[in-house]
Amino acid sequence: MSTIDRHIWLRVIRGYALMMAVLLSVFSLMAFVSELDSVGRGTYTLRDAVFNVLLTVPSRMIELAPATAILGSIIGLGELASGHELIAMLALGTSPLRIGLSVTVTGIVLMIAVVGIQEWVAPSTDQIAYTRRIQAISNPEALSTKRGFWSRDGRQFIRVHQVLPGRVLSDVEIYEFDDHDRLRLVTWAAQADPKDSHQWVLLNVVQRTTEAKGVATKHLASLPWAGSLTPAQVELLILPAEILSRAALGRYITFLKATGQDVARLEIRLWQQLTMPLSTLMMVLVAIPFVLGPLRKATAGKRILHGSLVGAAFHLGSHSVAYLGAIMHLNAALTVLSPLAVLGGVTVWVYRRAQ
C-alpha cells in the first residue's frame, strides 16, 4: 500500500463518513417525526419512539449506502481535486486508472461493511424495533398483526387471530377444501401450542366434516396438527419481509412457494438484498469520472448536484423496474440486475468520454 493509496483511502472514507452522518441524521430525524404520530397509541411512549429510531439506524444505513457511496466519493475525491492534489498525483506519474482502483478498494471496504450490517446487525435490530412497536401499540401481552394472520397450505386456508409469546397461536381456524373445491373440513381451536419445531397441538378443538349426508361435529380436547406451517415459520410469517435477513427471506420464499402463494415481490426483495453491495460499489465507480473527467473543474456544488441526480435516478429507476417486475412476474434476477447493467454501461461510456 503506497502513501498515495493511503491518502486517497482516507479522504474517500472521510467523505463516506461525512455523507453518512449528514444523510443519517436528516433521515433519522424524519423517521422520528413520523414515529411521533404513534406516541400515545397503546403504551407506545416517547422513549419507545426514540429507541425505535435508534434501533432502525442500521437498516437506514443500508438504505442510504448507495447514495452515500456516490456522494461520499465525490466529496472525498472532489477535495483532492480542488486542492490540486489529483493534478499533482497525475504529474507524478500516477495513472487515472490507478486512482480509480484505489477508490474502488474503498468502495469494496464499504461494500463489506454493508454486507456485514445487512446480514448480522440490521435484521435483528429491525425485528426488535418492530416487535417492541407492535407489542406497545396493539397489546402488551400479545403479538398480533393488523389483519389477524392468514396463511395457505395447499387446499387449507389457515387463520390465526393472534400469535402469543412463545409461538403459541390463539384462536385458530383451518378451512380445508377437497379436490372438487368443496369444503371438507372446518377446524376451530382455541389455541395451538408448538409440540416441536415441526408440529402443533391444537387445544379445545371443534371439528366439522361436511359429508353428503350432513355435517358431523367432533369436540376434542387436543389434536396433533402438522402441516407446512411449522412453529419455526410462524415468526417469519408475522414479521414484514422488509426486515428479514437474506437467509430467513430465502426460507420464507421456499415455504410460500411450497404452499402455492405468490413470491414475486419477495424474490425481487431477496435479489435486491443480494445485489445491494454491488449497487453500492457501482455507485463508487460512477462517482470517479465526475471528478477525474470533464467535471473536474466543476465546483463541489455542481458535483454534488450531478451525483445526487445520478444516485436518485438510479435508485428510483431500479425500484420502479423492480415494482414492474413484481407486478408482471418477470424473472427476479433479470429485473434486479438489468438496471445495474445499464448503470455499468453508463459508467463505461462516461469513462470513455472523460478520457
Partner 1 sequence: MLILDRYLTREIAKPLLVFCGGLLLLFANFTAIRYLNRVADGTMPFQSVLPLVLVRTAVALEILLPIALNLSVVVTLGRLYTDSEMSALFGSGISPIRVIRTVIAGSLVVAGIVALLSIYVRPWANGNRYRLERQAVADIDLNDMQPGHFYENSSGTVLFFQLRDQSSGRMQKVFIQSRSEERVRLVWAEEGYYPEPVKAGMGQTLVCSSAQIYEIYRDQGRVRQATSDGLVLEWEKAHAPSEEYRRKAAPTWQLARSDSPKDIAEFQWRLSTPVAAFLMGLLGFPLSRARAREGKYAKLFVSVLCYAIFYNLSIMAKAWVEQEVVKTVPGIWWVHLLLGILVAYLLWRRTTHP
| 48 is an interface residue for partner 1 by CB under 8 A | no
Question: Which residues are CB-neighbours of 311 under 8 A, at least 6 positions away?
Answer: 66, 67, 70, 71, 283
Return the HEC string of the chain: CCHHHHHHHHHHHHHHHHHHHHHHHHHHHHHHHHHHHHCCCCCCCHHHHHHHHHHCHHHHHHHHHHHHHHHHHHHHHHHHHHCCHHHHHHHCCCCHHHHHHHHHHHHHHHHHHHHHHHHHHHHHHHHHHHHHHHHHHCCCCCECCCCCEEEEECCEEEEEEEEECCCEEEEEEEEEECCCCCEEEEEEEEEEEECCCCCEEEEEEEEEEEECCEEEEEEEEEEEECCCCCHHHHHHHHCCHHHCCHHHHHHHHHHHHHCCCCCHHHHHHHHHHHHHHHHHHHHHHHHHHHHHCHHHHCCHHHHHHHHHHHHHHHHHHHHHHHHHHHHHCCCHHHHHHHHHHHHHHHHHHHHHHHC
Residue number, 158 or 274, with CB nearest to partner 1 = 158
- Residues in contact with partner 1, shown as a per-residue x/- string from 235 to 274 under the rule CB under 8 A: -------x-------------x---xxxxxx---------
Min dist. Cβ of residue 31 to partner 1 (A): 10
| 41 is an interface residue for partner 1 by CB under 8 A | no
Question: Which residues are CB-neighbours of 221 under 8 A, at least 6 positions away?
Answer: 203, 204, 205
| 36 is an interface residue for partner 1 by CB under 8 A | yes
Stretch that binds partner 1, among 197-205, 280-288, 308-316, 334-342 (CB under 8 A): 308-316
| 315 is an interface residue for partner 1 by CB under 8 A | yes
| 323 is an interface residue for partner 1 by CB under 8 A | yes
Task: State the Cα torsion 274-50-161-149 to the nearest 10°.
Answer: -20
| 305 is an interface residue for partner 1 by CB under 8 A | yes
| 230 is an interface residue for partner 1 by CB under 8 A | no
| 54 is an interface residue for partner 1 by CB under 8 A | no
Q: What are the cell numbers at 2? A: 503506497
By CB under 8 A, name the one of 12, 23, 274, 284 that touches partner 1: 23
| 316 is an interface residue for partner 1 by CB under 8 A | yes
Residue number, 26 or 97, with CB nearest to partner 1 = 26
Residue number, 98 or 306, with CB nearest to partner 1 = 306
The dihedral region occupied by 231, where left means phi > 0, alpha psi between -120 and 50, and beta the remainder, is: alpha
| 122 is an interface residue for partner 1 by CB under 8 A | no
Binding-site residue total for partner 1 (CB under 8 A)? 66
User: C-alpha angle with apex 73: 91 to 10, nearest 5 degrees?
Assistant: 70
Stretch that binds partner 1, among 128-136, 174-182, 224-232, 279-287 (CB under 8 A): 174-182
By CB under 8 A, name the one of 159, 246, 251, 296 that touches partner 1: 159
Stretch that binds partner 1, among 89-97, 177-185, 222-230, 273-281 (CB under 8 A): 177-185
| 220 is an interface residue for partner 1 by CB under 8 A | no
- Residues in contact with partner 1, shown as a per-residue x/- string from 335 to 354 under the rule CB under 8 A: --------------------
Stretch that binds partner 1, among 106-114, 231-239, 245-253, 319-327 (CB under 8 A): 319-327
| 33 is an interface residue for partner 1 by CB under 8 A | yes
Return residues touching partner 1 (CB under 8 A).
Answer: 18, 21-23, 25-30, 32-33, 36, 39-40, 46, 49-50, 63, 67, 71, 75, 79, 83, 147, 150, 152, 157, 159, 173, 175, 177, 181-183, 186, 188, 208, 210, 215, 217, 242, 256, 260-265, 299-302, 304-305, 308-309, 311-312, 315-316, 319-320, 323, 326-327
